[in-house]
């Protein structure tokens, strides 16, 4: 009997300990609350007392939950709640009312779970497709050690990164294109725009042109899919020549990458222009630098520095820079693992609110 109970409990909990179950529930509860409360105006109306404001917030929160249901399911929920009302106890139908109310609530639960299962399956397929668009690992680039990783806030992400040879390179030895991008928003809409970014980058990079022309053409393409600038994309693209070690780059509204020289000096790569998808025919400027042995180039999305803990404190660039300075003797894969572990430790059980993408390059 006891063995059967233990087997049943392991199946229910997937073998998780009580502490792990509580952390999972805590994370799910915070995520759900943010989902339902994001459309609620929590400001107290002038002349409204605290108790009245509390009841108003409860009403708005309940309506936010109900609004997420389809009209037919709202009716099922309404009937179930009516069957639980106290006046039913005066009619002699109390037992039947509670029973049928439970049946309707269980039916509603089954319908919602079926939707969740279908959506989860579709998201899993989308996640697999997105994984095909991202590189499985860093390529072998002469003179560079590279490591990169991404941590989506949801099943699919709006961040993109890649390093690949540029086919139309005028250089005899060939150059490599380095790209990282962050689509405004999260989840499926951002993931779909990320796919269009990847397609335009791979297509347009195959045409012989300067990096500024490439950025301009990508911007014009993005403007056709940005909902009048509401779905813009910040990006950093660079072209690296292994022969000369020259790096030409365009920063289109992205977080400025950190170039840490072997001497300890810090440079920020800022030259470029506005994010892609805001205004057609935008002219972009390029910057250039030369990588020397021992230099680090750190490219990241804002999900790294803006990661929040339970006290709503941001991870921040200061902590990020300290970690970079303290571990300069590490290899890029080692430092990447260290940074991600530090972010995870800092955030704790707080739900991740933005995609995290990080690319480390070290000149050797």
In tens, the pLDDT along 90-112 reads 555 556 777 777 888 888 888 88
Which residues, in sequence order, are CB contacts of 187 under 8 Å at separation 6+? Answer: 153, 154, 155, 156, 158
pLDDT reading at 245 higher than 50: yes
240 against 26, higher pLDDT: 240
- pLDDT in the model for residue 17: 79
Q: Given the structure tokens 């950190």, which residue do they identify?
A: 258
- pLDDT in the model for residue 169: 47
As to burial, measured by CB atoms within 10 angstroms (0-12 exposed, 13-18 middle, 19+ buried), residue 114 is exposed
- 213 confidence band (pLDDT: 50, 70, 90): very high
| 8-state DSSP, 89 | G
- 223 confidence band (pLDDT: 50, 70, 90): confident
Q: DSSP secondary structure string, 214-280?
A: HHHHHHHHHHTTSTTTTS-EEEEEEEE-TTT-EEEEEEEBPPPPEEE-TTS-EEE---EESPBTSST
What is the C-alpha to C-alpha distance for residues 230 and 227, in angstroms, rounded to an integer? 5
* Most confident residue range from 22-31, 95-104, 311-320, 347-356: 311-320
CA atoms within 13 A on the CB side of 52: 6
What average pLDDT does the segment 143-162 reach?
85
The three-point CA angle 353-153-331 to 5° equals 105
What is the C-alpha to C-alpha distance for residues 231 and 336, in angstroms, rounded to an integer? 29
Q: Where would I find the H helices in the chain? A: 2-13, 18-37, 50-67, 71-83, 94-133, 187-204, 211-223, 302-305, 316-326, 332-347
Task: Bin 302: left if φ > 0, else alpha if -120 < ψ < 50, else beta.
Answer: alpha
Question: Considering just the CA atoms, what is the radius of gyration of the chain in Å?
Answer: 26
**Contact of 251 with 271, CB cutoff 8 Å:** yes
- pLDDT in the model for residue 170: 46
What is the C-alpha to C-alpha distance for residues 239 and 164, in angstroms, rounded to an integer? 10
Element (H, E) at 296: strand 296-300
Predicted model pTM: 0.73
pLDDT digit string, tens, across residues 43-79: 777 877 888 878 888 888 888 878 888 888 888 888 8
What average pLDDT does the segment 202-222 reach?
89
Query: Which of helix, strand or coil describes residue 362?
Result: strand
Which residues, in sequence order, are CB contacts of 354 under 8 Å at separation 6+? Answer: 153, 186, 301, 302, 303, 306, 307
Percent of the chain beyond pLDDT 90?
29
- pLDDT in the model for residue 87: 53
- pLDDT in the model for residue 254: 94
What average pLDDT does the segment 31-40 reach?
73
- pLDDT in the model for residue 40: 75
151: tokens are: 């941590």
| Torsion angle of the four alpha carbons 34, 36, 39, 40, in this order, in degrees rounded to the nearest 10 | -90
- pLDDT in the model for residue 79: 83
pLDDT reading at 290 higher than 90: yes
Query: Which of helix, strand or coil describes residue 163?
Result: strand
The mean-pLDDT minimum among 7-21, 133-147, 164-178, 224-238 falls in 164-178
281 against 168, higher pLDDT: 281
**What are the structural domains, with CATH classification, of the chain?**
58-133 (no CATH), 135-363 (3.60.40.10)
pLDDT reading at 182 higher than 50: yes
- pLDDT in the model for residue 350: 80
- pLDDT in the model for residue 270: 93
Q: What are phi and psi of 130, to 5 degrees?
A: -65, -35
What average pLDDT does the segment 125-132 reach?
70
- 171 confidence band (pLDDT: 50, 70, 90): very low
337: tokens are: 């693992």
300 against 50, higher pLDDT: 300
What average pLDDT does the segment 248-256 reach?
94
- pLDDT in the model for residue 208: 83
6-11's contacts with Cβ under 8 Å and 24+ in sequence apart are none
- pLDDT in the model for residue 147: 94
Instruction: Return the bridge partners of 146, or none.
Output: 361
User: Can you say how many angstroms the Cα of residue 195 is from the centroid of all Cα atoms in its chain?
Assistant: 14
Q: Given the structure tokens 């030259």, which residue do they identify?
A: 271
């Amino acid at each position: 009997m006891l063995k059967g109970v233990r087997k049943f409990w392991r199946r229910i909990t997937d073998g998780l300990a009580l502490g792990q179950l509580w952390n999972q529930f805590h994370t799910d509860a915070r995520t759900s609350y943010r989902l339902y409360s994001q459309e609620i105006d929590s400001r107290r109306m002038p002349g409204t007392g605290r108790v009245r404001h509390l009841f108003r917030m409860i009403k708005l929160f309940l309506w936010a939950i109900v609004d997420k249901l389809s009209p037919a399911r709202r009716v099922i929920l309404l009937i179930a709640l009516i069957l639980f009302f106290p006046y039913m106890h005066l009619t002699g139908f109390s037992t039947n009312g509670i029973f049928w109310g439970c049946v309707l609530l269980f039916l509603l639960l089954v319908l919602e779970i079926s939707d969740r299962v279908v959506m989860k399956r579709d998201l899993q397929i989308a996640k697999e497709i997105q994984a095909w668009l991202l590189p499985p690992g860093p390529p072998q680039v002469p003179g560079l050690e590279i490591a990169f990783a991404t941590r989506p806030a949801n099943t699919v992400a709006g961040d993109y990164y890649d390093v690949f040879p540029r086919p139309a390179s005028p250089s005899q030895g060939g150059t490599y294109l380095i790209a990282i991008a962050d689509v405004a928003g999260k989840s499926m809409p951002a993931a779909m725009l990320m796919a269009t970014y990847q397609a335009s980058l791979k297509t347009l990079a195959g045409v012989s042109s300067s990096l500024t022309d490439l950025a301009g053409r990508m911007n014009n393409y993005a403007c056709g899919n940005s909902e009048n600038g509401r779905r813009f994309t910040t990006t950093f693209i660079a072209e690296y020549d292994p022969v000369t070690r020259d790096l030409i780059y365009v920063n289109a509204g992205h977080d400025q990458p950190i170039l840490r020289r072997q001497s300890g000096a810090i440079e920020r790569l800022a030259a470029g222009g506005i994010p892609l998808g805001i205004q057609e025919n935008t002219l972009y400027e390029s910057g250039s630098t030369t990588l020397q042995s021992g230099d680090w180039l750190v490219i990241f999305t804002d999900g790294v520095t803006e990661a929040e803990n339970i006290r709503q404190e941001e991870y921040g660039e200061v902590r990020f820079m300290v970690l970079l300075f303290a571990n300069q003797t590490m290899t890029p894969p080692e430092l990447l693992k260290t940074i991600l572990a530090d972010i995870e430790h800092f955030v704790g059980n707080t739900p991740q609110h933005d995609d995290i993408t990080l690319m480390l390059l070290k000149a050797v």
